[in-house]
Amino acid sequence: MAESGEGLWMSARERDRLKVLHEVRQRHITQAQAGAELGMSVRWVRKLLVRLRTWGDGGLRHGLRGRRSNRKTPEAAKRRAVELYRQKKQAKLWHDYGPTLAAEELAEQHGIAISRETLRQWLIEAKLWKPHRARVEQAHVWRARRARYGELVQWDTSEHNWLEGRGEKLYLIAMIDDATSRLTARFVRHDSTEENLRQLRSYVEQHGRPVSVYTDKASLFQITPRAVHHRDAPEEQLTQIGRALKELNIEWIAAHSPQAKGRIERAFQTAQDRLVKGLRQVGAHDVQTANAYLQQVYVPLWNRRFRREPQLAGDAHRALAPTTNLDSVLSIRESRTVGQDHTVRWHGTIYRVERKQIKAAMRGARVQLERRLDGSTWMHWRNHVVTLELCQATPAVRVQRPVSQRQATQGRSAQEKARAKQRILDARRRCQESYVRLPNRPLWQAMRDSPPRAEGLA
């Protein structure tokens, strides 16, 4: 603080120090007692006493008060950073970059290491950034992270304009560990059961089986019985993914709101900002180029920057049992009945059992058909896996239909057609008149006494 004509401006901390040091000079307390009261060593108390004796009360003030900070960023770096941001914003490269991402890009690409807040203040001063009022969001119950890596994995899919119109529509399927925020993700064309099973297979092969997974209540993970049948429904109805998780001994936990799985929701918010801009820089236009950038750049960058150490050491992931057939577990299964000719039908396709695997009890048996992720189809019958062959469809032979009576009479003249139509109208009129004349008679009597039908109608 600056001095005035009326006195010396000092902070409250400096005034407390001055009071204690004056008591030391008056020998009311010792230097050791002063150090204990001020929270400093005796040596530092002696230095302050020397400053007080040499410079008076003003010697206790900070030496840089009223001067430029020694750590202030040079003006040249400030002008360069602001000009780079302006140029890239005008070139539509950083037009949607905020101060946080822009500060990281300046440090990595241009060697200008500044904090996010410093850059934000510079951009506000240069009219390149408009400050936003902080929003007050609804409070939710806080949940602590799981203690070990692999105890809980959050799993979800994000639908977004990832390629900004440069190519096909893509979905981002991601799995993030709750204890460490370690990310595993891939782009797909469809948010289907097959693609989610492929994501689960990729995760299990890389890390092992987690203890539990945390998802929403989408139809991929949960079957909701209809209200009129909820009492008659079985106690446990599983989707294809639910069945696979049960066979792998992975617990499924349903989130009741998006905020409940906030870790992966916030990861999607970050990806919808940073990942989109990264895909734009490399010009990704299809699922192959998008996955190449995702796996080679974005996911490693995320795991370096946002990954944290778990509370407890150790890995909770479990290895697959040697007897586990992952191809069979991560598949689509449906029930079918074997026909008398040892064939089964699935989605309009006919399959037959290989001759060498046919058994006497197969006819009419209820079996499980299994379509694996590689496209092959298998059959489960009495704890046996049976190979199926695709039946080649026989081309249908078109039979020439006989000419109808109407087509045969198309060659009649206009006069003949008119006379036939008139006969029909006359017969209808006579029938209606007979019912009107006999309104109180029973229907069978009226029909008996009705005139005979015209010869043309016989």
Range of lowest pLDDT (108-112, 130-134, 201-205, 243-247):
130-134
In-domain check, residue 13:
no
Q: What average pLDDT does this structure show over 425-452?
A: 67
Rounded CA gap, 358 and 437, in Å?
Answer: 74
Under 8 Å between Cβ of 289 and 282: yes
In this structure, what are the phi and psi dihedrals at residue 400, rounded to the nearest 5 degrees?
-75, 120
| 367 and 429 co-located in one domain | no
Whether residues 298 and 336 fall in one domain: no
Inside any domain, residue 70: no
Q: Average pLDDT in the 313-331 region?
A: 91
Q: Looking at residue 187, what is its pLDDT? A: 96
Say which residue, 230 or 129, is predicted with more confidence. 129
Question: Using one digit for the tens of pLDDT, what is the confidence trace for 26-39?
Answer: 888 999 998 888 88
Structural domain including 93 reads 75-125
pLDDT of residue 326: 93
What are the backbone angles phi and psi of residue 57, rounded to the nearest 5°? -65, -30
Highest mean pLDDT (candidates 4-13, 33-42, 130-139, 397-406): 33-42
pLDDT value at position 134? 64
- The span from the CA of 156 to the CA of 259, in Å, is 13
Assigned domain for 132 exists: no
**Is residue 343 domain-resident?**
yes
pLDDT over 60 at 4, yes or no: no
Residue 441 has pLDDT above 70, yes or no: no
pLDDT at 447 over 80: no
Same domain flag for 203 and 258: yes
Choose the final residue of a domain: 83, 106, 125: 125
Of 58-62, 179-183, 297-301, which gets the smallest average pLDDT? 58-62
370 with 265, same domain: the answer is no
Instruction: Give me the residue label for tokens 């936003």.
Output: 132
How many structural domains does the chain have? 4
The answer to whether residue 346 sits within a structural domain is yes
Stretch 236-263: mean pLDDT, rounded? 88
pLDDT band at 440 (very low <50, low <70, confident <90, very high): low
pLDDT of residue 292: 96
Does residue 7 lie within any of the structural domains? Answer: no
Across 199-216, average pLDDT: 94
Kindly list the distances between the CA atom of residue 160 and the CA atoms of 275, 375, 377, in Å, as whole numbers in the listed order: 11, 29, 34
Within 13 A of 256's CA, how many CA atoms are on the CB side? 2
Is 290 found in the same domain as 160? yes
Question: Does 275 lie in the same domain as 384?
Answer: no
Mean of per-residue pLDDT scores for the chain: 83
Higher pLDDT pick, 207 / 452: 207
Within this chain, do residues 170 and 244 fall inside the same structural domain, yes or no? Answer: yes
At position 181, the amino acid (one-letter code) is S
Question: What's the pLDDT at 71?
Answer: 73
User: Is residue 63 in some structural domain?
Assistant: no
Q: Which residues have a Cβ under 8 Å from the Cβ of 203 and sit 6 or more positions away? A: 153, 175, 184, 210
Residue 2 lies in a domain: no
Q: How high is the pLDDT of residue 303?
A: 94
pLDDT digits (tens, 9 = 90+) for 72-121: 788 888 888 888 888 888 877 887 888 888 888 888 888 888 888 888 88
pLDDT range class, residue 137, cuts 50, 70, 90? low
Same-domain pairing of 160 and 280: yes
Q: pLDDT value at position 3?
A: 44
Residue 172 shares a structural domain with residue 296: yes
Residues 160-167: what's their mean pLDDT? 92
Regarding whether 157 and 301 lie in a shared domain, the answer is yes
State mean pLDDT over 341-363. 86
**Quick one: pLDDT at residue 294?**
95
Backbone angles phi, psi at 436, to 5 degrees: -70, -40
What pLDDT shows up at residue 456?
A: 47
Residues 436 and 375 in one domain: no
* pLDDT above 50: residue 230: no
Instruction: Tell me how far apart the alpha carbons of residues 17 and 406 are, in angstroms, rounded to a whole number.
Output: 118
Provide mean pLDDT across the span 312-326: 90
Question: Looking at the structure, do residues 260 and 361 belong to the same domain, yes or no?
Answer: no
Confidence bin at 182 (pLDDT 50/70/90): very high
Asked if residue 330 has pLDDT above 90, the reply is: yes
How high is the pLDDT of residue 390? 85
pLDDT band at 287 (very low <50, low <70, confident <90, very high): very high
| pLDDT value of position 253 | 92
More confident residue, 412 or 149: 149
pTM of the predicted model, to two decimals? 0.62
Output 445 or 236, whichever has higher pLDDT.
445
Return d(Cα 458, Cα 455) in angstroms, integer.
Answer: 5
* pLDDT exceeds 80 at position 375: yes
> What CATH number is associated with residue 178?
3.30.420.10
Nearest to 148, CA basis, from 231, 101, 200, 208: 208
Taking the C-alpha atoms of residue 105 and residue 85, their distance in angstroms, rounded to an integer, is 10
